[in-house]
Amino acid sequence: MGEAASKAVILLGPPGAGKGTQATRLAQRFGYRKLSTGDVLRDHVARGTPLGREVAPIMERGDLVPDELILSLIREELTPPSDVVFDGFPRTVPQAVALDQLLKEKELRLLAVFSIEVPLEELLRRLRGRQEGRADDEEEVIRTRMQVYREKTQPLIDYYQARNLLVPIDGVGDPEEIFARIAHALGEV
């Protein structure tokens, strides 16, 4: 297939890093299709598809949807020849390995994995802004979420770094500046 192959990029980043915003900008500016597993899952639940009925109780409990369900969902959603940006997926190395297979199968070339990096204090400031006037224990919750994110995501960052796909992006600044950094980096890959 050569150069005609469709392209894929992945956006990683902690809660509050602005992945969704940047994925939407990539979609608008470069015609990428934004694929957020959360959005897709919620859509299936809303439409009452067989998959939606299967995942609804899992999501209601706040549990993680099993990898094989997520992957069958993504397989269904991946319809080349459109370029795709993954927002918040994969989250684990097994998901990344399975995604590699899937991209190969669908003849999509993974161009880059952008890791949006934001210092903890800045994330706390942003998330505080989202949760008007909630108590200090909210901050503990946020810190815990960050800790979990780091522990879970570090192996993923190592995985993509080892394959020379990881591109760290400075996630501090206004969304337009951050997007300019991603667009610039995209031009380099």
Catalytic residue annotation? 19, 91, 130, 134, 145
The helix (H) or strand (E) run that includes residue 127 is: helix 120-130
Block residue for tokens 């969704």: 20
Length in residues, the chain = 189
Given a contact cutoff of 8 angstroms between Cβ atoms, the answer to whether 88 and 78 are in contact is no
Angstrom CA distances, 38 to 80, 128, 137, stand at 21, 22, 26
Alpha carbon distance 124, 140 (integer Å): 10
